[in-house]
Structure formats: C-alpha cells, structure tokens
Amino acid sequence: MLHDHGARLPRTSTARRSRVLSTTAATLLSASVALAGIASTSTAAQASGPVVIKLFSGSGTVSLNQALADGFNKSQHAVKVVLMTVPDADYNTALPRDLRTSAGPDVFAPSALVQEVTDGEVLNLDKYASRYGWAKKFSAQALAPGRVSSKGVIGRGPLYEAGGQAGVVTGIFYNRALMAKLQLHVPKTVSQFAAELATAKAHGVTPIIASNEDGLTGHLFDMLLGDYMGAQGIDDVIDNVPGSNLDNPDAVAAANKLASWMSSGYFNSDANAIQQTQSYQEFGAGDGLFMVSGSWIEFGGNFPKSFSYGMMPFPPLTPGGPYVGMESNDLAFSISAKSTHQDQAAQFVNWLSTPAAARVVVGVGGGNAYGLARIVPPALNQSLKAQTENVYQLVQRDNGVLNWLQNQGPIVNSDFPPQLQLLMAGKTTGAAMVQKFAADVTADRQATA
C-alpha cells in the first residue's frame, strides 16, 4: 500500500481489507511448537487450573502478542492466554480454516472482518462493550473500524472487533534547528501552517520534504480531507457507506489547497522523482523544514543521531477545531463465535483497553498508546517521544481518527501515485483529481457489489 512505513502498517477498514502483518524481526515459532503448549485439556484439568484462551498470531507479531499474553497472565490467574502461531504467509488462509472449529483460536486479529462476520465466525461484542464501558473509553471513530452492519458496511452496526488503542499516527515532523532559526511556532490552523511554508521558502528553506514517486504526498492530502470533510465524512467514503460521495465541494477544496502548495514551490523540487527512503535522507540532512508522515519514521535508524527533529499534529481548519490523523491499532481483536470460553476471551480483550496493555505495546516498540499520559497543548520544546504520544492522544480525544483514502480499494490505491504526480507537475487540477478518485470509488463499489 502507499503508506509504506515498513513494519507498522495500519489495519485497513474496508470490506476487502486484508490482515497486514508486521515483518519485524521476531523469533519464528512453528505452529507445532505453539500448539504443543495448548493441547486439549480435560474437564477435570480445566477445573483444577486456569481456563486457556488461544490467541492467534502471525510469526511477525509474536513479540508483541507474547508480551500482551504475558502481561495479561500476570494480572490474574483464572484465565491464561497462550499463542497459536502460524507463519505470516499462511495467516490469511490458516485463520478462516481454524475459525470453523471449536479447536481454533478464541481471540484473533481479523484477516477479512466483513467476510468473517458474514460467515458467522466472529462474535458480536455489543454485550461486552456495554459490560465493560468501551464506548466511554474510546471515541466513536476509534471503534468504528470494528463495526459491521447487516449489509456488510464497515463503521456501522454491531461491534465485532475491540481492544485498546495503540499504534502509529500521522502528523507533521519538523527540523528543530530550522524552526528556531525562523522563529516559528506550532500552527493552530491550516492557514497558519501555510504561512509558515511561505516563510520558509522566503528564507531559502525547502518548506516540505516529500516523496511522490510513490504517492506519499497522499499523507498530507488525507489529512486535508479529514479537515475539510470531517473524519466521519471521509471514513464513510472509505468504508463504502451508502450515500457517501467523494466528489463534493469540501474534498475539492482540500485538493485545491494541496495543489496551491505544490504550485507555490513548497515541496522539494525532486519530490516526483524520489521514494520514501530518499526523502528521509534529504530531511535528515537538514534540507527541509517539515515532513508530513507518520510515527513509523522514528524506527529503523532513518536519520543521523545528530539530527534533531520533533512532531506536532496536523492543524485544524479553525482555531480550536478537532485534530485529525491516520492511526493504526495494534490492540484491536475479535473473538471467535465458536469459542467455548467467550466470557474469558472478553476479559482478555477488555484488558487490552487498560493502561497496562498500552504500556506493553510501547515497551516493545509498538508506537504510541491512548490513555498513558495527560494530554497537553502541542509544544516545540517537548521530547519527540512525548510529542508523538501526545499527537496520538489528541487525535483520539477529538474523534479525529482517519483511515487512508487509498485503503478504500485497489483501484483508488493504484491511481494514487499517478494522480498526485500529475498534480505536483501541474498537469491536473484538484477538482479533476477528486473526480478521478470519486469515479474509482464508484467503479470499485460496482465491482464488489
């Protein structure tokens, strides 16, 4: 997908979504070894020991899932979570097969949520959401990707996937030295951000370093769409909610804003010719003021140790408006409809919504987590870690969680790079680009109807 950020890809929330597994280095546990630890126990054995809950895991997410299981197991002794592990390449085929039997997993990250709901393989979690108060803990937008209507529409209907909120988040990264030199501040609106872009250019500084050969100016476009259309509006399009339409004045205004920044020379001159890795090199060399990306760039040694940079949220349209941003969630799980221990599985899913689980995710390098720290106004003098954590929480607080537009479907995804490249080159307009994407959405809906 276009939001290529290595090991921490967002879970998509469309009807065609596939489970995107981490490819970080982890100890590869074979399915036979994992299953040996969760062999069937007799009724008598269960009566004398904890109830065993099986958590389905791809090999690439073993480190995270094992840490979560260990954290939960330390919290109480009546239920024990153990891993049921398969190679990443087998995840999407093994999961549907294993869900058809009571010997399969109790808890899992869906590979195709709508299909699994349609097939009756996923438990409706509404009673547990009520019991544990999940709607009070998290915003409606945060829970929306786990809802599926009777017509197969994501974001509506009963809740089938829940847990905590932890992962990566998008926003604006800035060169600390250049921000100080130009005497700039955290922009409170899109207009103030544009003014800072103009200031940077006037002083001979490249305002935004970006890669567009791979269409990654799309991160900026997605957040502009969130600002202009509202988080619910753009996610309705992505989730194929009936009546939603991308070809509207707000989407055109967002595209025109991006086009105006491109035509004003606010991006590096080679943006259309480079991909993400090279853009990291340019930003890390101190050649630009801003980079609009996600917190995944903090991992993997992308920048020299001497390079000092920070993160702030993408600004709203109006002062005091909601912050928006794309976020992933490493703590969203479902429960098998065939599980014989659904209440105990729900105890684990609820534990995933606690600060203890959030600390586990952060501790294994899983990004940011909601509810771990007090939310404060964005500031330039905070540490990068504190800033990233705060951005994640600000977006959650403001019900501004977005999906990536290109996750709507493969047609939109494939058209993203060429359309953004044409926009950068001045060979299309914002309105024409939006119309093209809207036509793609319509074609995709017809193809999958």
The enclosing domain of 357 has a CATH number of 3.40.190.10
pLDDT at 4: 40
Average pLDDT of the chain, as a whole number: 88
Angular region, 148: left φ>0, alpha ψ -120 to 50, beta rest: beta
pLDDT at 373: 79
pLDDT level of residue 48 (50, 70, 90 thresholds)? low
| Mean pLDDT, residues 218-245 | 95
pLDDT at 171 over 50: yes
- Comparison of pLDDT for 187 and 141, the residue scoring more: 187
In angstroms, rounded to a whole number, what is the distance separating the alpha carbons of residues 76 and 78? 6
3 state DSSP class of 326: strand
Contacts of 45 (CB under 8 A, 6+ apart): none
Q: Is the same domain home to 95 and 132?
A: yes
Q: Is the same domain home to 393 and 256?
A: yes
Q: Is the same domain home to 195 and 310?
A: yes
| Mean pLDDT, residues 170-195 | 98
3 state DSSP class of 8: coil
Whose tokens are 């073993």? That residue is 62
In angstroms, rounded to a whole number, what is the distance separating the alpha carbons of residues 105 and 103? 7
Q: Is the same domain home to 343 and 400?
A: no
* Phi, psi (rounded to 5 degrees) for 171: 180, -155
Domain-located, residue 374? no
∠ CA 3-295-95, rounded to 5°: 60
Q: Give the distance, in angstroms, between the CA of residue 168 and the centroid of all CA atoms in the same chain.
A: 6
pLDDT at 76: 84
Q: Which two tokens stand for residue 374?
A: 């007090």
Number of domains the chain contains = 2
Q: Which two tokens stand for residue 208?
A: 């935004």
Domain-located, residue 215? yes
Q: Which two tokens stand for residue 131?
A: 């019991």
In angstroms, rounded to a whole number, what is the distance separating the alpha carbons of residues 215 and 271? 9
∠ CA 330-41-86, rounded to 5°: 35
- Please report, as a single letter, which amino acid is at residue 249: P
Domain-located, residue 22? no
Q: Is the same domain home to 181 and 279?
A: yes
Task: State the distance between the two ends of the chain, measured CA to CA, in whole angstroms.
Answer: 23
- Comparison of pLDDT for 42 and 401, the residue scoring more: 401
Q: Is the same domain home to 292 and 240?
A: yes
pLDDT at 192 over 90: yes
The percentage of residues in the chain with a pLDDT greater than 70, rounded to a whole number, is 89
142 within 8 A of 236, measured Cβ to Cβ: no
- Comparison of pLDDT for 94 and 330, the residue scoring more: 94
Range of the domain at 96: 31-167+329-369
Q: Give the distance, in angstroms, between the CA of residue 151 and the centroid of all CA atoms in the same chain.
A: 24
Question: What is the tens place of the pLDDT at every residue in 327-362?
Answer: 988 899 999 999 999 999 999 999 999 989 988 988
Per residue, the 3-state secondary structure of 396-434, as one string, reads: HHCCCEECCHHHHCHHHHHHHHHHHHHHHCCCCCHHHHH
Last residue of a domain, one of 312, 346, 369: 369
Q: Is the same domain home to 267 and 412?
A: yes
pLDDT at 67 over 60: yes
- Comparison of pLDDT for 408 and 191, the residue scoring more: 191
Q: Is the same domain home to 287 and 434?
A: yes
pLDDT level of residue 264 (50, 70, 90 thresholds)? very high
Q: Is the same domain home to 100 and 179?
A: no
Q: Is the same domain home to 346 and 420?
A: no
- β-bridge partners, 86: 58
Q: Is the same domain home to 162 and 182?
A: no
Q: Is the same domain home to 163 and 100?
A: yes
Last residue of a domain, one of 369, 399, 426: 369
Helix (H) or strand (E) holding 178: helix 176-181
168 within 8 A of 5, measured Cβ to Cβ: yes
Cα 80 to Cα 47, 68, 336, 346, distances in angstroms: 13, 11, 17, 12
| Mean pLDDT, residues 226-255 | 95
| Burial bucket for residue 387 (CB in 10 Å: 0-12, 13-18, 19+) | buried
